[in-house]
């Protein structure tokens, strides 16, 4: 894809299911990727397990999205040691508490998720843009979900499996508003802001065969997404091939939401 080679990208949640695929996809396009994780050792370990094809382009980074001072310090450190990123992939999402039953949810369940997914990523975006020179273009891609635009079908989740929770849907919906607001706010200075609304992604460790069958039957393509398919959409929006796309919330769900 055009305009990726030689750039610097920051990927949050870079060692998770989607983060791994996004990081590898960008590194394969000759992007230097800051592999951000709450725990630096986790990022270092993941990088050590990658092939030399990718590893030379990967830099571990400890980032606490719930602490503004941490975020500010990290961006100042990046600028001094690596250079200012011109790509931000806001992928991290707090998984703690997602299995809490509906009737047990508290204020904290909503607040903590919003701190990471929305507030933390907003601050990342703002600090990144503040470091850019006036003539430097940049691309910000938020990761959202199809459940930001549609209700959760409880019937596809079998007994014993926790459905996608209400606070997750609410926070992912907030990301759409954030995406459009920032796209309008920064558009004239050459900063594009978009979101990928990911459908269900196949995970061999998190999903049973029954759930996969139930979910796949709801899609037009008859299957769940691979992490690499979501990563390709992210790379496209970050690249110059998408140079006239901003404020877009791109649905990548195999037709799940299009019936």
Task: State the Cα–Cα distance between residues 55 and 228, nearest whole angstrom.
Answer: 18
Where residue 161 falls among pLDDT bands split at 50, 70, 90?
confident
Q: What percent of the chain has pLDDT over 70?
A: 100
Query: Nearest CA to 82 among 61, 102, 97?
Result: 61
pLDDT of 174 over the 90 cut: yes
Query: Nearest CA to 12 among 71, 68, 54, 56?
Result: 71
Quote the radius of gyration of the chain (alpha carbons, Å).
18
Where residue 204 falls among pLDDT bands split at 50, 70, 90?
confident
Domain ranges of the chain: 8-252
Written as one string, the DSSP assignment of 6-48 is T-EEEETTTTSHHHHHHHHHHHHTT-EEEEEESSHHHHHHHHH
Fold annotation for 8-252: Rossmann fold (3.40.50)
Tell me how far the alpha carbon of residue 25 is from its chain's centroid. Answer: 13
**φ, ψ for residue 14, nearest 5 deg:** -75, -10
- Cα angle, residue 18 at apex, residues 66 and 23 outer, rounded to 5°: 90
pLDDT of 47 over the 90 cut: yes
Q: Tell me the whole-structure pTM to 2 decimals.
A: 0.96
């Amino acid at each position: 894809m055009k305009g990726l080679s030689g750039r610097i990208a920051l990927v949050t949640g870079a060692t998770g299911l989607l983060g791994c695929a996004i990081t590898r996809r960008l590194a394969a396009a000759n992007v230097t990727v800051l592999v951000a994780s709450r725990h630096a050792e986790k990022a270092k370990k993941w990088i050590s397990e990658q092939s030399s094809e990718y590893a030379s382009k990967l830099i571990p980074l400890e980032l606490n999205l719930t602490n503004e001072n941490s975020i500010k310090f990290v961006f100042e450190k990046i600028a001094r040691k690596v250079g200012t990123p011109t790509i931000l992939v806001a992928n991290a999402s707090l998984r703690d508490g997602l299995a809490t039953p509906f009737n047990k949810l508290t204020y904290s369940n909503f607040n903590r998720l919003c701190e990471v997914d929305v507030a933390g990523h907003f601050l990342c975006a703002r600090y990144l843009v503040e470091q850019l020179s006036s003539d430097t273009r940049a691309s910000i891609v938020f990761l959202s979900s199809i459940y930001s635009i549609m209700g959760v079908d409880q019937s596809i989740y079998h007994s014993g499996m926790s459905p996608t929770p209400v606070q997750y849907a609410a926070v992912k919906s907030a990301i759409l508003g954030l995406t459009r607001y920032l796209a309008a706010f920064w558009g004239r200075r050459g900063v594009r802001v978009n979101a990928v609304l990911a459908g269900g992604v196949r995970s061999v460790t998190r999903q049973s065969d029954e759930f996969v069958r139930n979910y796949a039957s709801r899609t037009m393509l008859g299957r769940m997404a691979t992490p690499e398919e979501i990563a390709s959409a992210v790379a496209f929006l970050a690249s110059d091939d998408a140079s006239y796309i901003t404020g877009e919330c791109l649905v990548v769900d195999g037709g799940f939401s299009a019936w």
